[in-house]
Each structure stands twice: as C-alpha cells, then as structure tokens.
A and B are shown apart, each in its own frame.
Chain A
C-alpha cells in the first residue's frame, strides 16, 4: 500500500493474468492495457480519482 502521487489516495499492486495491467478504482475498471493498447500514464488515472 502506498500513497499515490501526493494525493490522499492509496494504491496497491495485485497479481493478475499474464499480459494484464488494469487500474481499478474502488473495484471499478478505470484503465485496461488490453483495451487501450498501451500502459496508463498518471494523466489517465489522476483525473478519474474522486
């Protein structure tokens, strides 16, 4: 568990499937490498945080 980029949010890593890199916010999918064909940037995720 770690603080996320100076925000009050915390983030943690969990094992997924091979080739999987998803970002979930409170259990909801916010970014998927498989869907987007790229890895997320902070700019993809930070605006989605409440």
Chain B
C-alpha cells in the first residue's frame, strides 16, 4: 500500500479590523469595461495566484515585524491589482464586498506589524486573531464573487 501525503497549512492569520470603502452599491455604467465572466474569473484568479506566490516566498511569520511589513506591502499590491479587475454586473456587489474585506485584512496585517515594532504583543496577538477571522470572510466573499482560486481557504489574497 502506497501512502499519499498532502502537505497544507491553514492560512496564516494576522491583525485587526479596518474596512473603509465608501463606494456606493450603485449601478454600473453602461459604458463600463466589465470583462466577460470567464475573463473576469481568469483575471481575478491570476491576481490571487500572484499574491499567493508572494506570500509563500515571504515564508513563516514570527515576532520579527519585518515579515509582517513585507506581508502588508504584498497585501496592498494584491488589493491594487484586484481593483483593476472589472467584474460583470452580476458579480459586482460580491466583488466589492471581497475588496472591502481584503482592505480590512491588509489594515490588520499592518496593525500587527506596527504593534510588533512597539513590542506590544497583546495588541499584535489580538490583531492577528482578528485578521484570521477577516480572512475567512475574504474567502467567503471570493466564493460569492465567483473567483474559484481566490475562494480556497489555502489561498492567500491579499495576504
């Protein structure tokens, strides 16, 4: 009997809340450059794949704030890239929700970093816990947005 070993790791959780985005949920302009459904999914997934690779290269996070700083920077990049993706109208609301959670996650990671710099480990721990919860919401929103790679619990977008 052969043994198959699957190696996986639950996504690393990180920092505290955030959330901004004052975008209205208004209608999309008729002249929007929304991509086709397949093009949208491909484009969104590619952003997540690139983000996932960056996070993998950063490696395991410790109490050293440098890794968290790099993770926060990667999160901001992942968010900026995702904002360029144009969902079809039917996915627009879910996509925007995913962006809001993604933004909250990026802010949380930054908060972990900032707390670690100050050696405020209680705040860092609380922020990390919150980030893990936000990351779950990112994946749920990504599923609603129809982004098949991004929605996987082991995918790290924006971080």
B2 with A19: CB separation less than 8 A: no
Partner of B56, one of A11, A13, A34: A34
- In the complex, the chain A residue whose C-beta lies closest to that of B7 is A16
Contacting pair B60 A18 (CB below 8 A): yes
The answer to whether the Cβ of B152 comes within 8 Å of any Cβ in the partner chain is: yes
Find residues 136-159 in chain B having any chain A CB closer than 8 Å to their own CB. Answer: 149, 152, 154-156
Interface string of A2-46 (1 = CB under 8 A from B): 001000111111111111111111110000011001110000010
Q: How far is the CB of B157 from chain A (nearest CB, A)?
A: 10
Return chain B residues, CB-CB under 8 Å to A38: 49, 149
Q: Is the CB of A19 within 8 A of B1?
A: no
CB distance from A32 to the nearest CB of B (A): 9
Task: Name the interface size band of chain B.
Answer: 20 to 34
Q: Is the CB of B154 within 8 A of A26?
A: no
| Inter-chain contact A9/B2, CB cutoff 8 Å | yes
Determine, out of B8-16, B81-89, B110-118, the stretch whose residues face the partner at the interface.
B8-16
One of B5, B10, B59 near A14 (C-beta < 8 A): B5
Interface residue B106 (Cβ < 8 Å from any Cβ of A):
no
B6 within 8 A of A: yes
- Shortest Cβ distance from residue A3 to the other chain B in the assembled complex, whole angstroms: 10
Shortest CB–CB separation between residue A15 and chain B, in angstroms? 5
Most chain B C-beta atoms within 10 Å of own C-beta, residue among A18, A22, A26, A33: A18
A39 CA / B154 CA spacing, docked (Å): 9
Q: Which residues of A contact B149 (CB under 8 A)?
A: 38-39
Within 8 A of A (CB), among B85-119: none
What residues of chain B have their CB less than 8 Å away from a CB belonging to chain A?
1-12, 49, 52-53, 55-56, 58-61, 149, 152, 154-156
